A and B are shown apart, each in its own frame.
Chain A
Amino acid sequence: MLKKGIRDILSASKDTGWVLEPQAKRLFSMAGLDVPRFTWATTVEEAVQFAQEIGYPIVGKVVSPRIVHKSDRDGVAVGIDSDRDLAETFNRFSRFEGFAGMVAEEMISGVELIVGAKIDYQFGPVILLGIGGTEVEIYRDITIRMAPLQERDVESMVKGLKAGRLLEGYRGSEPINMSELTRLLVTFSDLVMELEEFIESIDLNPVICGAAKCIVADARIMLRDV
């Protein structure tokens, strides 16, 4: 049974056709996934206050129901390191069509993965794991399984990635926390089973994985046409 908070976010997003990043993150956070510390700022002051609380540098991302792929539109700024830089970024974003504020969030580093879901016509909910980032569709290093996933599926999914070794610690980097990745994928897959009738597809991209955690740094939920 979906939590009320999750159902509320889905129904509030119906008209847009997809769930905006800050709401999507709230939804996944309610479902038990880790997200970065962030705020959805609609004024420069809110953004600055958040940045001063957690400390620079931070990431800024435009929020607009008209912009599905933020990076393609230069709507993502990483390494914002001062109040001034932050205000400039906010003002630049405010000129985007449909501007509805800015996500200000902590910067996280680690291996970037994509975790996705799609409601397939023939097979129903399926889960995708791949090497993430903005170039996912260039490398297409992905593996797909029918949901719900079992824990043992995660291991075989990682093995199925050409760049799977990146997750094991490569050239001095620490290996990622496999049990956290497993928890994330299994929790996500269980959630997707419950979301089947509401969604068309989901991108969690990137999911940033390190030695301690796997954090959903960006999320997009495309809703089903009804």
Chain B
Amino acid sequence: MTDGDLDLFLSLVERHYRYLYNLALRMTGNEQDAKDVVQESLLNAYLGLERFDGRADLRTWLNRILVNCALDHLRGLRRRPDVSNPRPLSDVIDTAVSTAADPERLAAGADSRRQIEAVMAAMSPLERVTFALRHFEGCSIREIAQIVGIGDNATKQHIFRAVRKIRLALEPHWRAR
């Protein structure tokens, strides 16, 4: 492939870049990781351009590559506790219980946002990605299963577990209010 091909490819993906970056941000939770994931997925897409057969549109195809790169990235981070050290879920729940006595701060939403970020970080990569695709992106379970390459039932179970974790971490807030 020549430099001209690369320019052509980048001009094609340019209009999807913002969307891809935000999707990566929702799945990884921080800007640097999102940037790395987008970079890796665009490189993979460029190198695998021959495999793009036009059965899906470009965004769907890029989406699929991005989700799989995000999964790999999150798994890689988990294997490197020096880079990413998420708090265990029990700590997140304890924080929820101890800060629940301050409803004004909770109303401001700052604590619950932090709490959501903490609980997302405590999820396994598959829980996090399947939940983000279902909850934030509105993808159906069947679509998520196809994108991630697992069964429908497995997808459901990952989402159920993610929701269970979120409820455990957030519901003490609501009870206190």
B partners with A:
no
Q: Using a CB–CB distance below 8 Å, which chain A residues touch chain B?
A: none
